[in-house]
């Protein structure tokens, strides 16, 4: 969008928050870059130029606005909607792959050379992978500076900087403030305030509107005992991360998601934030989704009744795939029980002083030696689960955020016992495909019948062509016609 100068100017002049994260406005006279919704008086048109990413603006010599904090804007919806190499690269960079494995590691995950990845990112985003990772490190550093009392040296290395000097230089260059000055501003009333020891209190932004009912209702109603819970108005769960583990507590607020993170290693902060945002689908563009779906007379009343529905996703694709098989042809309660037993028997124990979480969901490597006979499941489903775990553990099936969605679908469908429903549910919630559509789902078919839409899977698939590429969101509206706990914000 940054190449459409007139459209960008109109968005800036109207302070339209819907475009936050789509592009960034750089002011030639002040050398500052902002969100489109920045509250200050818009600059003159001739002084505006636009960039597709914060990293590109920083690389061009602009510093972040102190009022609108453009470095903390919601992510571009493109990276979740698209499945090409650039989108996959952006999801992996957000998950911290460049900081952990460098650009060669990123390229290897994508199946391209480093030169190809560098060229593609620069062509579309105006910055290479190192600059994009540097911008993320700066944002992580800012969060740690403003929300913890950690020494600056600890923050520098936790944020991924190779040296304290690089940390100081980057913070000054990006924010025009030293780390000490950033902390002073936060303590002067602009920070989130002190939390419990070892707990980071953050605000996760999103594009309005957001309907929390089905989002948090689904996560709470399907929560695995010991791994997830609803407590004190927040969805809480354990996280398996690159350097350790953590606990996330996510609470819906009118204009943001309140996020409290407890991490065993602060180097996991960027990855934990990325997974929480992905779980809640916070980078979605609800205006575009709802406009497309409301054009269907059958869906229009549902969209206007509760706009902004998101797709509840996952923090761990392998975990969700295992849970999807456990949930085949059984009730939500039975699936929770089976998953809870699996977590207790094979998951890594964790301490949770603030709640009742006890385990990480077991990694597929820990489940590889599982005795299927120990599971209270039909023999055919036990065999399916064993085959799935084996494929995930050996790498035959890859469901990670940087993977190829089409290839993952093909390999998943090739496993005996994995039918269209499971493939589409995994594509929707684990792979993040916004167009996944489980047409055979009983809830979807029942809702379609009640709304006067075609009720057979084949006819419904043909009708749903008009909803593309947002069919996963259409599913959320169809499910909302049922009075199931997944559609209601839990009450404490």
CATH number of the domain that residue 112 is part of: 1.10.10.60
Residues 117, 125: Cα–Cα separation, whole Å: 12
Boundary residue ending a domain (23, 51, 72)? 72
Task: Indicate the range of 198-202, 248-252, 311-315, 437-441 predicted with least confidence.
Answer: 198-202
Least confident of 27-41, 88-102, 175-189, 289-303: 175-189
Co-location of 86 and 172 in the same domain: yes
> Is 433 annotated in the active site?
no
Looking at residue 260, the DSSP 8-state letter turns out to be E
Percentage of the chain modeled with pLDDT above 90: 79
* The predicted structure's pLDDT at residue 9: 94
At a CB cut-off of 8 Å and minimum separation 6, what does 113 contact?
A: 107
When pLDDT is averaged across residues 110-114 and rounded to a whole number, the result is: 93
Say yes or no: 42 and 88 in one domain. Answer: no
CA gap 351, 357 in Å, rounded: 7
297 has a pLDDT exceeding 50: yes
Lowest mean pLDDT of 231-235, 366-370, 470-474, name the range: 366-370
For 253-269, what is each residue's pLDDT tens digit?
999 999 999 999 999 99
Q: Are residues 27 and 87 in the same domain?
A: no
User: For this structure, is 8 an active site residue?
Assistant: no
pTM score, whole prediction: 0.90
The answer, yes or no, to whether residue 63 has pLDDT greater than 50, is: yes
Q: What is the DSSP letter of 126?
A: S
Same-domain check for residues 59 and 122: no
**pLDDT (tens digit, 9 = 90+) per residue, 2-27?**
889 999 999 999 998 888 988 999 99
Catalytic residue among 34, 68, 211, 259: 34
Q: Contact, 361 vs 316, CB < 8 A?
A: yes
E-assigned strand segments in 416-480: none
> Are 61 and 121 in a shared domain?
no
In a domain, 485, yes or no: no
Check: CB of residue 481 under 8 Å from CB of residue 447. Answer: yes
Confidence of residue 194 (pLDDT cuts 50, 70, 90): very low
Average of per-residue pLDDT across 51-66: 93
Q: What percent of the chain has pLDDT over 70?
A: 98
Q: Does 101 share its domain with 158?
A: yes
How many domains in the chain?
2
Instruction: Compute the average pLDDT of residues 198-215.
Output: 91
Which residues constitute the domain of residue 86? 81-190
Give the residue from 136, 162, 190 where a domain finishes: 190
Residue 176 lies in a domain: yes
pLDDT at 185: 85
Regarding whether 186 and 125 lie in a shared domain, the answer is yes
For residue 71, give the nearest of 175, 159, 155 by alpha carbon: 175
CATH number at residue 53: 3.40.10.10
Confirm whether 57 is domain-assigned.
Answer: yes
175 and 98 within one domain: yes
Catalytic residue among 283, 316, 318, 441: 441
424 lies in some domain:
no
Q: Are residues 56 and 157 in the same domain?
A: no
Co-location of 185 and 92 in the same domain: yes
Question: Is the pLDDT at 472 greater than 80, yes or no?
Answer: yes
pLDDT exceeds 90 at position 373: no
Peptide bond into 469 cis (omega under 30): yes
User: Is residue 55 predicted with pLDDT exceeding 90?
Assistant: yes
pLDDT(193) > 70: no
CB 269 within 8 A of CB 95: no
Question: Is residue 280 in a domain?
Answer: no
Average pLDDT, integer, range 209-230: 96
């Amino acid at each position: 969008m940054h190449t459409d100068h007139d459209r960008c100017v109109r968005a800036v002049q109207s302070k339209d928050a819907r475009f936050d994260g789509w592009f960034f406005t750089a002011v030639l006279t002040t050398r500052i870059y902002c969100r489109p919704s920045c509250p200050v008086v818009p600059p003159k048109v001739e002084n505006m130029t636009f960039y597709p990413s914060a990293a590109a603006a920083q690389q061009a010599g602009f510093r972040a606005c102190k009022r609108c904090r453009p470095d903390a804007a919601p992510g571009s919806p493109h990276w979740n909607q698209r499945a090409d190499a650039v989108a996959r690269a952006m999801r992996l960079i957000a998950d911290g792959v460049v900081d952990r494995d460098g650009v060669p590691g990123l390229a290897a995950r994508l199946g391209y050379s480093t030169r190809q990845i560098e060229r593609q990112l620069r062509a579309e985003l105006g910055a290479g992978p190192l600059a994009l990772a540097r911008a993320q490190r700066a944002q992580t550093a800012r969060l740690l500076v403003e929300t913890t009392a950690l020494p600056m040296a600890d923050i520098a290395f936790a944020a991924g900087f190779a040296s304290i000097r690089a940390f100081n230089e980057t913070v000054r260059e990006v924010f025009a403030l030293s780390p000490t000055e950033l902390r002073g501003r936060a303590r002067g009333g602009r920070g989130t305030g002190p939390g419990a020891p070892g707990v980071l209190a953050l605000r996760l932004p999103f594009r309005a509107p957001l309907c929390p009912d089905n989002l948090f209702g689904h996560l709470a109603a399907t929560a695995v005992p010991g791994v997830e819970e609803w407590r004190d108005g927040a969805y809480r769960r354990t996280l398996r991360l690159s350097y350790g583990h953590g606990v996330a507590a996510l609470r819906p607020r009118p204009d943001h998601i309140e996020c409290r993170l407890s991490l065993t290693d602060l180097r996991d902060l960027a990855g934990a934030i990325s997974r929480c945002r992905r779980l809640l689908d916070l980078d979605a563009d609800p205006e575009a989704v709802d406009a497309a779906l409301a054009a269907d007379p059958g869906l229009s009343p549902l969209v206007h009744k509760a706009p902004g529905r998101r797709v509840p996703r996952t923090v761990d694709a392998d975990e969700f795939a295992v849970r999807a098989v456990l949930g085949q042809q059984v009730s939500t309660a039975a699936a929770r029980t089976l998953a809870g037993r699996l977590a207790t028997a094979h998951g890594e124990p964790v301490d949770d002083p603030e709640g009742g979480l006890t385990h990480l969901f077991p990694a597929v490597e820990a489940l590889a030696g599982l005795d299927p006979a120990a599971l209270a499941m039909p023999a055919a489903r036990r065999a399916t689960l064993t085959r799935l775990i084996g494929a995930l553990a050996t790498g035959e099936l890859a469901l990670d955020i940087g993977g190829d969605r089409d290839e993952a679908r093909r390999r998943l469908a090739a496993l005996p016992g994995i039918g269209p429903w499971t493939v589409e549910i995994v594509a929707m919630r684990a792979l993040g495909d916004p167009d996944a559509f489980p047409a055979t789902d009983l809830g979807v078919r029942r809702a379609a019948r009640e709304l006067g839409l075609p009720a057979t899977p084949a006819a419904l698939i043909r009708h749903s062509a008009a909803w593309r590429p947002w069919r996963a969101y259409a599913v959320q509206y169809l499910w909302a016609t049922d009075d199931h706990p997944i559609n209601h914000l839990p009450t404490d």
